[in-house]
Structure 1
Amino acid sequence: MGRRGPAPKPTRLRMLHGERPYRINDHEPQPAEGLPEPPEALSETGRVIWDHVVGELAAMGLAHGADVHQLHAYVEAVELHAQASLMVHRAGPLIKDRDDAVRTNPAVRVQREAARTMLALAREFGLTPSSRVHLSTEQVAEDAATRLLS
């Protein structure tokens, strides 16, 4: 049986949230320094999304090479959502099938699933407003200095 409850927050996000020092794991494995390299399979649009997202994560100190596959999945979900949204915009949410019956556009389902994937992965990376609501960059520097000196 899997773990119960919500997934634990990454230590970096816990520090940004101002978590009490005794609740932070000092022995957590740390990924290697450096930004993740974009996969070769990305399209031009995917590369633009990749550069934007990695830039935002780097600014927050949350971009690591170990996250390349999760970032790739996020970028693909964003791109798929954009494509499905364009199809829904062009054809509308309802379409007529061969029998002239009105049906939901299949692109609506693709759009919805891509949005769910985007949201789940965005929360993991701290890319949603609600996942950033308690972040404080000043507190990180203070906590990091305190942890190094203790």
Structure 2
Amino acid sequence: MTQRGRPPKPSNLKVLEGNPGKRPLPEDEPNPKPVSPKPPTWLNTDAKKMWKRLEPELESMGLLTVVDGEAFAAACQSYGVWLECEKFFKKKNPETGQRYGRTYEYTNKAGATNITERPEVKIGQKALADFRAFCSEFGLTPASRTRLSTKSGDSEEDPMEQLLGG
């Protein structure tokens, strides 16, 4: 069965946004432990840095739980792959001493010289698009942040009361 329309938004994200639609929140929605998972060992270096930077914020907002680890790891790895591609363009080619850049020249069988885009350009673009999609899922895009509202103040209210009170 295919899903139509926008994907459903997590209830935690609706609560942070102030439940703008004023629709009742589901009462039987699964509620995984709000303990963030450990980063997987297979993440590349830049992905691990992204994990360490974003994980505390997502956990404090209740948007990262033990069951969200794989999606968050994929988001961080997408960022890491994009950054790897960007770093590649700045590296110097040992043969020419020039930076690799986003294009390269090659000579075809007919002897004509052509300039074409490096494969890393498409790989980086896809990884960045994936990362942006994951960020939207976790409420981390600039547009998502403008819709978020958190209650500030010194009163320490029960989180369950805040959730039920809306």
What is the TM-score normalised by the length of structure 1? 0.86
Cα shift at 1:146: 5.3
Amino acid at match of 1:117: D
- Which residue of 1 is the match for residue 71 of structure 2? 70
Q: 1:144 to 1:134 in 2, by over 3 A?
A: farther
Q: Secondary structure at the match of 1:108?
A: helix
SS of the residue 1:9 aligns to: coil
- 2:29 paired with 1:28: yes
Distance 1:146 1:32, change over 3 A: closer
Number of residues paired by the alignment?
A: 149
Indicate conservation of the 8 Å contact 1:57/1:63, yes or no.
Answer: yes
Instruction: Please report how far the alpha carbon of residue 142 of structure 1 lies from its aligned counterpart in structure 2 after TM superposition.
Output: 9.1
Greater helix share, 1 or 2?
A: 1
DSSP 3-state at the match of 2:147: coil
Q: Tell me which residue corresponds to 1:16.
A: 16
Higher relative contact order (CA 8 A, sep 6+): 1
Alignment partner, residue 94 of structure 2: none
For structure 1, the 5+ residue unaligned runs are: none
Contact 2:46/2:79, CA 8 A, preserved across alignment = no
Q: Give the letter for the 2:144 counterpart.
A: S
Match runs of 1:79-98 below 5 Å: 79-89=80-90, 90-98=99-107
Match for 1:108 among 121, 129, 136?
A: 121
In 2, the alpha carbon distance for the partners of 1:149 and 1:8 equals 21
Identity %: 28
Per-residue deviation, residues 4-45 of structure 1 (Å, max 9, x unmatched)? 001111000111111155431121011123111111222333
1:76 is paired with a residue whose SS is helix
Give TM-score scaled by structure 2 length. 0.79
Does structure 1 conserve the Cα–Cα contact (< 8 Å) formed by 2:44 and 2:80? no
Equivalent-residue separation in structure 1 for 2:59 and 2:159 (angstroms) = 19
Q: 1 CA distance for matches of 2:160 and 2:146?
A: 20
CA RMSD of aligned residues (A): 2.4
